[in-house]
Chain A
């Protein structure tokens, strides 16, 4: 589990969040260009379901990584402060990224995609 102490853990959660955000916006744009769902159908259509599903999967991934990092931070010895710092910051960043994903994705359940 040494990868949990790698310094890339510090920004990793937000990198995942960034990739999700790009996929969300570009997926919405391409979906609307290729096969726009019927506007009268409201928010429950193929595009919103795909975007929402991808968002929930991202949240689950980020929460899982956060939990792993947090556990890793509790396993290090007293003289391994650098490792603990990386794991704790990593856990916090993953958690923040998960919450950000959830909050930004919320409008998917209320708005049709292409109007």
Chain B
């Protein structure tokens, strides 16, 4: 504990945590800045996507319009959906979580700041590449869910679909990195004493959302990789004639696509659960039931994907399962709605501008939820499939469920961004214009759909009964646009004219209001001990005590960026997490990856390959600047009696981060195996060779080689945990050599098997499975070699045993991959028949 003057302490902390200006601002890794960049970039893409919506509504306002031709219209509606879903909704929600979560948890930063920065730059560059396609008149034009075969090469011969597949995959790096970051921060970097049951509800929502991203995004990443391999390299996955199946794409897309809706909605509901009790001036009703409801929503949302595919011809019983699950998900959502209503009912609500948006959210989202239950019913779903009714429904759910809470949140946290309060008058005007305009547009659109108008039709003939509702929808959309412009003007003006905000201006309970307004890069001078679910309500003096350095971890003379590492359940301090400082590495990696992306787009494969090698070198350098390396600021010793720095432990955040990353990786691999078994079971022209192309004995030898290397590493790690680093360098070097040998053997196996991935889906899937295993095994071998090298430099030893333990998980994962590949590719065909 350091008792000092807040301004002096602030200066000392700024020397360590301060953000550089000018071009060096690209080196900033701090979560506050990265979160703000996410929000600002998301706003930019929202305006872009909104303008595309205006073009769509202008085109559809009257029948037989020639404002846009069909090709342009296809690009515009595809980009509108893509931008809003991938470049606005998800990054905005994640950006807000990146900004808020450490502050709410009483931490100074997220646990992997460089990863946050990499995620942001990938998002920005990927988004710009995708947006550029529209100005080149090469934008994707197969709809935001890119169904095959429409998006396949024969029907989309240009690079339009490639922009989508490569750009979205690039952007998804950002979503997954942020998700990993958020999961580990919530579980391992909370304030001391913040047990699970004292976590702010928002943290539960974000934990659920982030885990959903970890498990839900990989199927789409896999689908995009497969489709791009089919388009660019001629491999067969979705082509019926070569044993593929276009329906596989639909499964992979909607395995991601339906959870995506809840990935967007849940964090927004978390914002509601945060703001509403503040304005109701009482704790939320049924905290525990809300936690159960959030978890249930997250899980059940993974069992709904086939309701997007009711018309593709699957058995009635299977449709009934998904229909039941789709109806069921309304119940946990309803639990949350009733919790909010009960909180208002039992509280003493005060009405500020954010409350208006929360009111709008409740009305619109509940209506969208009800049409969702209608769409869960198979016969109704068949009737309105691919009509404007579905478009209206999804806008009610997404705009109501995400945009309205987001605007409420922007108003609520404006004092954080500017130190000033919003204007009530313009805010009200903005709300009513958006609320009225939205309902005029999309309520009427339900009827347009019921009258039979299909979605994605670029124009329509007069006299079909669609003229008036379309005109009304278009007028409504422009009113909504005026409302959004009013909100933007209000937000801009408040930076100049807003009244200065007092500390904790809304009298909130959560710790983000214990920062300065706007907050400093380090968040808090000292980190609080939490003994309540509502720290600022129960301890109104806490913020001042923290600012005076009277709470924990207030030392800064050592020059390190630090935050507490705590137990995931009981919140007890376990270590000090040593955070990296500003660096060019994330920016440089993302920049080089964008060269890879562009290289693949223009089919300059030599450039793409060279850039991939450069990116790999940069990433290895990144991994080098860790732990005891002098670049990470560890030369000043820490005080006796303090908890250890995380890299002197066996179980720091990196181990958790690796675990969560491998969960995402495993989800991708599981989706790949799903594809293998799916095609084997239902592909109409699945072709199995009489003799398996894989040499079963050679494959088994490869698996056994990896098993030996992994067991050896396990022994080394066990010794390290016991405090012995005897012959550590030599053993790690030998294990690395075994890993490289096994990878080389796998490469030979692939070559020797004579696979024909362009001829059959059977061989194409085998090639991808083996390629996946090769990449991971090679990576493990190289990373282990690097560890041996770090032992030589003294960065890894019994006093710093952390990194090999983190790496060990990759070896175990790889072992699971190659054994399951052996079972799926060798044993399964031999027993099932064929090969």
Give the interface of A toward B (CB within 8 A).
7, 10-11, 14-15, 17-18, 21, 24-26, 28-30, 32-33, 48, 81-82, 85-86, 88-89, 92-93, 96, 100, 103-108, 110-115
Q: Is B324 an interface residue (CB 8 A)?
A: yes
Rounded to whole angstroms, the CA-CA distance of A20 and B164 in the bound complex is 34
Q: Is B521 an interface residue (CB 8 A)?
A: no
Q: Contact string, B514-553, partner A, CB cutoff 8 A, digits 1/0?
A: 0000000000000000000000000000000000000000
> Can you name 20 A-B pairs with beta carbons within 8 Å?
A7-B568, A14-B295, A14-B300, A18-B299, A18-B302, A21-B303, A25-B306, A26-B677, A28-B315, A28-B318, A33-B682, A82-B195, A82-B570, A85-B196, A100-B325, A104-B303, A104-B321, A107-B321, A111-B317, A113-B315
Q: Is B296 an interface residue (CB 8 A)?
A: yes
Q: Is B316 an interface residue (CB 8 A)?
A: yes
A29 and B320 in contact, given A100-B300, A100-B328, A103-B328 (Cβ under 8 angstroms)? no
Pairwise interchain contact A86-B569, C-beta atoms closer than 8 A: yes
A104 and B295 in contact, given A89-B288, A92-B289, A111-B316 (Cβ under 8 angstroms)? no
Main secondary structure, interface of B, reads helix
Q: Is B623 an interface residue (CB 8 A)?
A: no
Pairwise interchain contact B295-A93, C-beta atoms closer than 8 A: yes
- Which B residues are CB-close (under 8 A) to A100? 296, 300, 325, 328
Q: Is B291 an interface residue (CB 8 A)?
A: yes
Give the interface of B toward A (CB within 8 A).
195-197, 288-289, 291-292, 295-296, 299-300, 302-303, 306, 315-318, 320-321, 324-325, 328, 332, 568-570, 677, 681-682
Pairwise interchain contact A24-B321, C-beta atoms closer than 8 A: yes
A20 to chain B, nearest CB (A): 10
Rounded to whole angstroms, the CA-CA distance of A26 and B681 in the bound complex is 10
B829 to chain A, nearest CB (A): 15
B211 to chain A, nearest CB (A): 9
- Which A residues are CB-close (under 8 A) to B289? 92
**Partner pick for A86 among B196, B299, B324, B328, CB 8 A cutoff:** B196
Residue of A nearest to B299 (CB): A14
Rounded to whole angstroms, the CA-CA distance of A29 and B318 in the bound complex is 8
Rounded to whole angstroms, the CA-CA distance of A112 and B315 in the bound complex is 9
- Which A residues are CB-close (under 8 A) to B288? 85, 88-89, 92
Residue of B nearest to A84 (CB): B197
Pairwise interchain contact A107-B300, C-beta atoms closer than 8 A: no
Pairwise interchain contact A107-B197, C-beta atoms closer than 8 A: no
Known pairs A7-B196, A92-B292 / 18 extra A-B pairs, C-beta < 8 Å? A21-B321, A25-B321, A26-B677, A28-B317, A48-B317, A82-B195, A82-B197, A89-B288, A89-B291, A92-B289, A96-B292, A96-B332, A104-B303, A104-B325, A108-B317, A111-B316, A114-B315, A115-B315
A5 to chain B, nearest CB (A): 9
Residue of B nearest to A7 (CB): B569
Rounded to whole angstroms, the CA-CA distance of A37 and B303 in the bound complex is 25
Listed residue (A14, A17, A30) with the most chain B CB atoms within 10 angstroms of its CB: A14
Rounded to whole angstroms, the CA-CA distance of A2 and B615 in the bound complex is 46
Closest 4 CB pairs of A and B: A107-B320, A85-B197, A14-B299, A111-B317
A32 to chain B, nearest CB (A): 6
- Which A residues are CB-close (under 8 A) to B317? 28, 48, 107-108, 111-115
Rounded to whole angstroms, the CA-CA distance of A103 and B329 in the bound complex is 12
Pairwise interchain contact B299-A17, C-beta atoms closer than 8 A: yes
Rounded to whole angstroms, the CA-CA distance of A28 and B569 in the bound complex is 39
A111 and B320 in contact, given A7-B196, A30-B681, A85-B195 (Cβ under 8 angstroms)? yes
- Which A residues are CB-close (under 8 A) to B315? 28, 32, 113-115
Pairwise interchain contact B316-A104, C-beta atoms closer than 8 A: no
A29 and B681 in contact, given A104-B321, A107-B321 (Cβ under 8 angstroms)? yes
Rounded to whole angstroms, the CA-CA distance of A25 and B316 in the bound complex is 12
Rounded to whole angstroms, the CA-CA distance of A48 and B315 in the bound complex is 13
A81 and B325 in contact, given A17-B299, A89-B292 (Cβ under 8 angstroms)? no
Pairwise interchain contact A11-B299, C-beta atoms closer than 8 A: yes
Pairwise interchain contact A14-B296, C-beta atoms closer than 8 A: yes
